[in-house]
Chain A
Amino acid sequence: MTFLEKQTNPLDPVHYRGNLQVDNLYTSGAAGDRFFKHLMENDTFLASECKECGTVFFPPRLYCEDCFVEIPEENWFEVPAAGTVRLFTRAKLNTYGEKLEEPKIIALIDIEDTDGAHLGVIKSDEPDKDFMGKKVEAVLRPKKDREGTIKDILYFQVL
């Protein structure tokens, strides 16, 4: 089947402009709220451990996705706000494809004493070096400025 009429005049309406604007407020969740409230008052992270399989979740979770059991609050504990770089990349362009003045080092960091990882930014005086396997620690916002979001972690620095 083909349409019997074609658009041949380029001055005829071709496009109609529109947008999609919705704002969202994401509650951190039962587990997330506990994690962020701890981070507002402390310089350490929290993790949660499933006692069935021994997995230590970071970020901490309310439940274990493997054993499908709830993780009670007594199985939560503090871990250092530090870890080891598992993967990293040097981004040279921003989201819009524009060149960044300085490359941005984005790393997946295995958080110490847990089975979880955090996607964070590394700041370094030597941005061109190899960060694989390097120990890094989180630099947090000053306590008075913390607001209970992931942005309270400013960046990671090499130890």
Chain B
Amino acid sequence: MNDVAVLGGGMTLFRRRLKETGKELSFQAAKMALEEAGIDNSDIDMVVMGSAPCAFDGIHMKGENLLDGAGAKDKPYVRVFNGGGTGVFAPIAGWWHVASGVADMVMVVCEEKMGGCYPHPQTAFQTIWDPILDRPLTPNLVWLFAMEMNRYMTKHNIKKEDIARVAVKNKKNAVGHPCAQLPDEKITVDDVLNSEMMAWPVNRLDISPPSDGASALIFCNEKKARQFTDDPVLVDGVGWNIASSMWTNRDLYFPQYVANAARMAYKMAGIRNPRKEIDFAEPYDPFTYKELHHMEGLLLCDKGEAPILTREGVTERDGDMPICPSGGLLGVGNPIAATMGQKICELYWQLAGKAGKRQIPGDPQVGVGQAWGDIMQMGTVMVLRR
């Protein structure tokens, strides 16, 4: 298997609605990644597209629609998709193109346009459920995550204010991010707790916004990458795992599938003690409690311990284990697949020392990014090392 290096990343503005088409956003993100890598699109052997449900963009088989903006014309090209897990699964697919040796240079582009879906992106989400058993009850995703959050809180006796701290931290972290949709320097725990009740125990500020946006990342065979840099950031491990679709037949308090994916990635990376060997993490945070749930799934702390670490400041940018230094989905926005920008591009920028105002102090060497999707069942994990 070949070692794989990261050469550059790019992302567009994240907003509730952008004027640009999905193709145009893909082009803008890809262009930025090529600029950072210092290469032309003609240097790219193959392209991977990550994009979530077609119903958001309203274009069926949107992989085909987006390909020219992703620079994939006349090239080997594939779209991958596993719901919210796509933002980390698309780079995993990009990695295996290079690791397997079928390509030396691969561009991964992730795109989402949710602003055009009416009456609300939740309407499209209704059709992800089992049509016979679940849909007649007209569920929406906020209900589902409220139920999971409740189970998690009840199991570990967690207070809502400890979960609200995640929104405060991430929205503050996002202040240094030029693409951020909801950065907020002044937000307090009380603001989160007093925001509108959506579905108990989820308040409005516990939720990341729907967004339009795109992101891009370039992977390169490590030997070839030495032409571009003496100190490459390498993909050290990847993992992915999915639980049963029968979500009403399993306990929701712990994301076992994330732990399975993390163990797979850590084994590949030779990481035996993730708490000591990993310097920072970008777990998937579409809801406040998910960051905590995923820290536990990533084996960065004990079950039920993540809220305590958050309260003690361990997860702040200057803490012992910075979590979501990008600002995460809560601060930067949630164009589903394009959150590769916060989850994997950010790992690269942090490890390369290029994160500017968001840079973690102390010269981090190892970071882990993770995404989560489908009906509370998909875990995707990638470890990067400098």
Q: Report if A and B touch in the complex (beta carbons < 8 A).
A: yes
Instruction: Enumerate chain A interface residues (CB-CB to B < 8 A).
Output: 16, 18, 20-33, 62-63, 65-66, 68, 70
Which one of B124-132, B229-237, B315-323, B364-372 is at the interface? B124-132
Which residues of B sit under 8 angstroms from A70, Cβ to Cβ? 27, 31
| Distance in angstroms between the alpha carbons of A26 and B131 in the assembled complex | 27
| Contact yes or no, A29 B131, CB < 8 A | no
- The yes or no answer to B76 lying at the interface (CB within 8 A) is no
Chain A at the B interface: SS class: strand
How many A-B Cβ pairs are below 8 Å? 72
Q: Interface centre among B24, B31, B68, by most A CB within 10 Å?
A: B24
Interchain CB contact under 8 A, A26 and B116: yes
Residues of B within 8 A of A18 (CB): 131, 135
User: With a CB–CB cut-off of 8 A, which chain A residues contact B57?
Assistant: 24
23 examples of A-B residue contacts, CB within 8 angstroms: A16-B132, A22-B55, A22-B117, A22-B124, A23-B119, A23-B123, A24-B116, A25-B115, A26-B116, A27-B19, A27-B21, A27-B116, A30-B19, A30-B20, A30-B21, A30-B24, A32-B21, A62-B20, A62-B27, A68-B34, A68-B42, A68-B71, A70-B31
Indicate with 1 or 0, residue by residue over B33-51, a CB within 8 angstroms of chain A CB atoms: 0100000111000000000
Partner of B118, one of A25, A29, A32, A63: A25
**B287 nearest CB across to chain A (Å):** 23
Indicate if the CB atoms of A63 and B24 lie closer than 8 Å: yes
The docked-state distance in angstroms from the alpha carbon of A90 to that of B202 is 56
Instruction: Beyond the given A26-B21, A27-B115, please list 16 additional residue pairs across the A-B interface where CB-CB is below 8 A.
Output: A18-B131, A20-B55, A22-B118, A22-B123, A22-B127, A23-B118, A24-B116, A24-B117, A25-B116, A26-B116, A27-B21, A29-B24, A63-B27, A63-B69, A65-B71, A68-B31
Residue of B nearest to A19 (CB): B127
Residue in chain A with minimal CB distance to B74:
A66
Distance between A105 CB and nearest chain B CB, rounded to angstroms: 27
Q: Which single member of A22, A26, A31 contacts B24 (CB below 8 Å)?
A: A31
Q: Mark B9-28, 1 if CB is under 8 A from A, else 0.
A: 00000000111110110010
Within the complex, the shortest CB–CB distance from B120 to chain A, in Å, comes to 10
Q: How far is the CA of A23 from the CA of B24 in the complex (A)?
A: 22
B270 in contact (CB, < 8 A): no
Query: What residues on B are CB-neighbors of A27 within 8 Å?
Result: 17-21, 115-116
CB neighbours of B68 from chain A (8 A): 65
CB atoms of A21 and B23 under 8 A apart: no
- A66 contacts which chain B residues (CB < 8 A)? 73
Distance in angstroms between the alpha carbons of A31 and B25 in the assembled complex = 12
Question: Which residues in chain B, 100-118, are within 8 Å of chain A measured between CB atoms?
Answer: 115-118
Interface presence of B58 (CB below 8 A):
yes
- Chain A residues within an 8 Å CB radius of B24: 29-31, 62-63
CB-based nearest B residue for A25 = B116
- Chain B residues with a Cβ closer than 8 Å to the other chain, count: 32
A29-B26 Cα distance, complex, nearest whole Å? 12
Contact between chains at B118 and A20 (CB < 8 Å): no
Choose among B18, B34, B58 the residue that contacts A24 (Cβ–Cβ < 8 A). B58
User: From residue B20, how far is it (CB to closest CB) to chain A in Å?
Assistant: 5
In contact, A29 and B19 (Cβ under 8 angstroms): yes
Q: In the complex, what residues of B have CB within 8 A of residue A65's CB?
A: 68-69, 71, 73
A32 to B40: give the CA distance in the assembly, Å: 26
Nearest B-chain residue to A32, judged by Cβ = B21
Chain A, residue nearest B127 (CB): A20
8 tightest A-B CB contacts, nearest first: A24-B58, A29-B21, A68-B41, A65-B68, A23-B118, A25-B116, A18-B131, A16-B132
Which A residues are CB-close (under 8 A) to B119? Answer: 23
Residues of B within 8 A of A20 (CB): 55, 127
A22 to B125, CA, bound (A): 10
Distance (whole angstroms) from the CB of B101 to the closest CB of chain A: 25
Q: How far is the CB of A22 from chain B (nearest CB, A)?
A: 5
Cα distance, A22 to B23, chains bound together (Å): 21
Q: CA separation between A20 and B53, bound complex, in Å?
A: 13
Instruction: Choose one: A23, A24, A31, A68; the contact of B40 (CB below 8 Å).
Output: A68
Query: Which residue in chain B gives the minimum CB-CB distance to A20?
Result: B127
Q: Which residues of A contact B34 (CB under 8 A)?
A: 68
Who on chain B is nearest to A18 by CB? Answer: B131
Q: With the chains together, A22 CA to B58 CA distance in Å?
A: 8
Contacts A16-B131, A18-B135 hold; do A26 and B20 have CB atoms under 8 A apart? no
- Chain B residue nearest to A67 (CB atoms) is B41
Bound complex: CA A32 to CA B21 (Å): 9
B34 (CB) vs chain A CBs: closest residue: A68
